[in-house]
């Protein structure tokens, strides 16, 4: 008799994305099935939102809101209660519209009389418009109907999320749910206290969803993927519910959060909820663990797996790491989305940044061109960790085979390549293979703005279906780019991005401020470069984020090379990632960040491109220095290259 395949269930916990499944379970499910295992997957992040935002779910939310003392009832909750009948009557239709199942509802939504409009709609008043004009025309122009309506419907959901936050759980977010309980959190106490609290509406709903998933799949092993700190609380609530139902069910915790923040895990209490914690790529650790659970290998031959030893006050945590090679990238199999309700994800339109829209708008098949990063030198990046440092590729033929299989399964031809930086050699081969097979797809991803991306290659990628690329310009300063070991210059970035833009590809620049030794002058010069890149049509989109030093990056490992002094890490046995530092320049980056973000917001919409960049920092006291960058430097660099 043929033995029954071992049953493995992978769950996506709240909260990740609502427009498309987070890909970790798709990768693992496809791999495990290729090894003959009965692997299944479910997205409880989506499940929680779809269960909550229904007429019955809003009934329960109203009960929670009505339980608040009258003197503590925030305006958002008061508005919800006053407009409850309208919310209840519209919520199912709005969800169906955002799922693409009721597109004609856009006409009603755009009347601005169909949806109850709470505090989130006040943001519409901030859009520039003449008296009597439609403020959304500035943002959406002739695109009109569907985009306008999805933006309004997204504001409607955000209003409801505010009610959940005020009436049920102040930590609730659609993406970063309770992330402060886990982000660089040295102590487990905050999580332990939250998990010991009586379950509220969200917890009870998540427990019900967990019970239903266990009953459907009857797993012998449960995998919880936590890519972000904002998924840790939800994952442990799932584990808590699963243990209450099936105490003997082995539960494994893994994913990006574990790989970056729990590498020095020493907290035994985490194992009250899960049985194993695995590091790095999950294929080899899971195969070893399944063989152990089936009695085919001893515990000492687990691979990169934390376990608890002992009990009570004498318990400790040990990392078992049997030296066994990882599964080659070419043998990990094809991701599968089987089991995930692809027609029920929500196409939201929250941010008007054109690249950020791609993250939340529409469903994308997420795939990697290669394992790890081919550059792995950037000083701010965790280049020493396996998911970045171990670089492997496969052939373009294998990659396109995977794409064809995914299109056949999902019916969707859009791909988001989620590499840290997709290698140009592989992208060229991929494009040529897509064109050879005449496979009509749309794709986008992250690259380094290196000189290999010539205008000819940019055109080839565009012809193969590339619609957008993003890359790190970081601090647009040649001195700081060299210190970061980016391997690019500002003028090189200009030439590369112009080549993509001329090929009709949307170009997004990741921008950074607050890097070690960055001065006020550096910041103004960097913004002047960014202004020129927008003005010369090199980039269309950008976003400034504050530099954070991590313990696994070259800056965190060798701070003396970057002119800074690290602050001592707090003692603790749980998460460890971000580390504070003292920069002798003393620049007030918080004050500068406000002006940088205001500038980039306006540049993306063609506003202020002829202004002196100092206009965005009028909130700062004193006279600011003039940028030292020539106002035509990027234009001259492009002319000389041509």
Q: Name the pTM for this structure.
A: 0.92
At 142, is the pLDDT very low, low, confident or very high (cuts 50, 70, 90)?
Answer: very low
557 vs 561: CA distance, rounded Å: 9
Percent composition of the chain: helix, strand, coil (DSSP 3-state, to 5): 50, 10, 40
In this model, does residue 218 exceed pLDDT 80? yes
pLDDT reported for residue 183: 86
End-to-end CA distance of the chain: 71
Residue 510 φ/ψ region, left for φ over 0, alpha for ψ in the -120 to 50 degree band, beta for the rest:
beta
| In contact, 229 and 263? CB cutoff 8 Å | no
Residue ranges of E strands in 105-244: 221-225
Q: Per DSSP, what are the bridge partners of residue 474?
A: 511
| pLDDT (mean) for 307-320 | 93
pLDDT in tens, 113-123: 999 999 999 87
Cα distances (angstroms) measured from residue 221 to each of 8, 271, 340, 406, 583 = 5, 15, 19, 26, 47
Compute how many other C-beta atoms are within 10 angstroms of the C-beta atom of residue 404: 15
Quote the tokens at residue 97.
């519209």
pLDDT attached to residue 331 = 92
- Single out the residue of 79, 48, 51 nearest to residue 65, CA to CA: 79
- Please state, in angstroms and rounded to a whole number, the distance separating the CA atoms of residues 446 and 471: 6
- pLDDT above 60: residue 630: yes
Mean pLDDT, residues 472-492: 91
Tokens of 495: 């030439």
Q: Does the pLDDT at position 627 exceed 70?
A: yes
Which are the contacts of 298, defined by CB distance < 8 A and separation ≥ 6? 292
Of the candidates 21, 30, 41, the residue with the CA atom closest to the CA atom of residue 213: 41
Name the DSSP class of 613: G
Percent with pLDDT over 90 in the chain: 81
- Kindly give, in sequence order, each residue whose CB lies less than 8 Å from that of residue 178, ignoring residues fewer than 6 positions away: 169, 171, 172, 194, 230, 232, 233, 234
pLDDT of residue 82: 96
Strands in 365-367's sheet, in edge-to-edge order, are: 365-367, 414-417, 442-447, 466-474, 506-513, 541-546
Where does residue 501 fall: left (phi above 0), alpha (psi -120 to 50 degrees), or beta otherwise? alpha
CB neighbour list of residue 66: distance below 8 Å, 6 or more residues apart:
81
Report which secondary-structure segment, H or E, holds 285: helix 283-293
Contact between 466 and 431 under an 8 Å Cβ cutoff? The reply is yes
Strand partners, 305: 278, 320
Residue in 576, 551, 568 with CA at minimum distance from that of residue 187:
576
Task: Please say if the pLDDT value at position 413 is more than 70.
Answer: yes
Is it the case that residue 278 has pLDDT exceeding 70? yes
Gap between the Cα atoms of 325 and 303, Å rounded? 9
Average of per-residue pLDDT across 14-34:
93
For residue 278, the cross-strand partners are 305
Helix (H) or strand (E) holding 523: helix 520-535
For the cut 60, the answer to whether the pLDDT of residue 129 exceeds it is: no
The whole-number pLDDT of residue 201 equals 97
Of 463, 391, 399, whose CA–CA distance to 429 is shortest? 399
Dihedral pair phi/psi, residue 277, rounded to 5° = -130, 120
Cβ-based burial of 277 (10 A; exposed 0-12, middle 13-18, buried ≥19): buried
Q: Give CA–CA dist 135/458, Å, rounded.
A: 36
With bands split at pLDDT 50, 70 and 90, how would you rate the model's confidence at 140? low
pLDDT of the residue at 210: 98
Query: What average pLDDT does the structure give for the chain?
Result: 92
* DSSP run (H or E) holding 470: strand 466-474
Q: Give Rg (Cα) of the chain.
A: 25
Q: Is the pLDDT of residue 361 over 80?
A: no
pLDDT of residue 130: 53
Sign of CA dihedral 117, 118, 120, 124: positive
Mean pLDDT of 409-419: 94
- The answer to whether 516 touches 564, Cβ cutoff 8 Å, is yes
Model confidence at 246, pLDDT cuts 50, 70, 90, reads very high
Q: pLDDT: is 252 or 357 the higher one? A: 252
- Measured CA angle at 405 (ends 401, 406), to 5 deg: 115
Q: Which CATH architecture group holds 351-547+585-641?
A: Alpha-Beta Barrel (3.20)
Predicted local confidence at residue 2, as pLDDT: 62
What are the structural domain ranges in the chain? 1-348, 351-547+585-641
Band of pLDDT at residue 415, cut at 50, 70 and 90: very high
Kindly indicate the confidence band of residue 127, based on its pLDDT and cuts at 50, 70 and 90.
low
User: 10 Å Cβ neighbour count for 440?
Assistant: 10
Task: Write the pLDDT tens digit of every residue in 574-621.
Answer: 999 999 999 999 899 999 999 999 999 999 989 999 999 999 999 888
DSSP 36-56: T-EEEEEEHHHHHHHHHSSHH
Phi, psi of 446 (to 5 degrees): -105, 140
CB atoms within 10 A of CB 512: 22
Pull the structure tokens for residue 58: 């809003």
């Amino acid at each position: 008799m043929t033995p029954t395949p071992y049953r493995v269930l992978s769950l996506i916990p709240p909260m990740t994305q609502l427009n498309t499944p987070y890909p970790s379970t798709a990768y693992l499910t496809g791999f495990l099935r290729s090894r003959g295992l009965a692997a299944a997957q479910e997205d409880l992040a989506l499940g929680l939102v779809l269960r909550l935002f229904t007429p019955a779910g809003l009934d329960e939310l109203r009960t929670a809101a009505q339980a608040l003392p009258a003197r503590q009832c925030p305006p958002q909750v008061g508005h919800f209660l006053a407009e409850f009948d309208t919310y209840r009557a519209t919520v199912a239709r709005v969800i169906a519209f955002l799922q693409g199942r009721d597109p004609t509802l856009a006409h009603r939504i755009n009347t601005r009389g169909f949806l109850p409009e709470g505090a989130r709609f006040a943001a519409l008043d901030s859009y520039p418009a003449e008296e009597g004009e439609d403020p959304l025309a500035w943002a959406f122009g002739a695109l009109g109907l569907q985009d306008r309506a999805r933006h309004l419907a997204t504001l409607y959901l955000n209003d409801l999320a505010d009610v959940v936050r005020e009436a049920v759980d102040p930590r609730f977010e659609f993406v970063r749910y309770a992330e402060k309980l886990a982000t660089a959190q040295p102590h487990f106490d905050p999580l332990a206290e939250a998990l010991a609290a009586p379950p509220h509406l969200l917890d009870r709903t998540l427990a019900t969803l967990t019970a239903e998933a266990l009953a459907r799949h009857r797993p012998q092993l449960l995998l919880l993927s936590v890519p972000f700190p904002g998924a840790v609380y939800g994952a442990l609530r799932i584990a808590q519910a699963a243990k209450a139902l099936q105490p003997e069910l082995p539960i494994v915790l893994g994913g990006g959060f574990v790989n970056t923040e729990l590498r020095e895990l020493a907290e035994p209490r985490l194992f009250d909820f899960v049985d194993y914690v695995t590091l790095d790529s999950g294929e080899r650790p899971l195969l070893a663990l399944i063989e152990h659970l089936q009695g085919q290998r001893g515990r000492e031959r687990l691979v990169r797996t934390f376990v608890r030893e002992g009990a009570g006050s004498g318990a400790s945590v040990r990392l078992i790491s049997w030296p066994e090679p990882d599964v080659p990238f070419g043998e990990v199999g094809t991701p599968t989305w089987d089991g995930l309700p692809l027609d029920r994800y929500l196409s939201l339109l929250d941010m008007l940044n054109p690249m950020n829209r791609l993250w939340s708008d529409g469903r994308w098949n997420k795939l990697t061109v290669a394992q790890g990063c081919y550059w792995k030198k950037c000083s701010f990046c965790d280049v020493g960790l396996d998911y970045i440092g171990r670089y492997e590729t496969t052939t373009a033929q294998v990659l396109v085979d995977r794409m064809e299989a995914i299109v056949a399964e999902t019916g969707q031809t859009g791909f988001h390549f989620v590499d840290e930086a997709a290698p140009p050699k592989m992208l060229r081969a991929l494009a040529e293979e897509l064109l050879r097979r005449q496979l009509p797809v749309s794709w986008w991803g992250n690259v380094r703005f290196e000189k290999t991306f010539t205008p000819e290659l940019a055109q080839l990628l565009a012809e193969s279906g590339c619609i957008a690329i993003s890359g790190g310009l970081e601090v647009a300063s040649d001195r700081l780019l060299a210190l970061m070991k980016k391997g690019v210059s500002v003028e090189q970035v200009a030439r590369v991005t112009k080549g993509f833009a001329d090929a009709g590809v949307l170009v997004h620049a990741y921008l950074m401020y607050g890097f070690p030794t960055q001065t006020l002058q550096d910041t103004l010069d960097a913004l002047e470069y960014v202004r020129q890149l927008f003005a010369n049509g090199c980039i269309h989109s950008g976003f400034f984020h504050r530099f954070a030093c991590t313990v696994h990056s070259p800056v965190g490992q060798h701070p003396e090379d970057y002119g800074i002094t690290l602050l001592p890490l707090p003692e603790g046995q749980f998460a460890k990632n971000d580390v504070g530092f003292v920069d002798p320049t003393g620049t007030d980056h918080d004050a500068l960040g406000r002006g940088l973000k205001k500038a980039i917001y306006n540049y993306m919409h063609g506003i202020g491109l002829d202004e002196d960049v100092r206009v965005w920092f009028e909130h700062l006291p004193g006279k600011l220095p003039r940028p030292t960058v020539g106002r035509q430097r990027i234009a001259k660099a492009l002319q000389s290259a041509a």
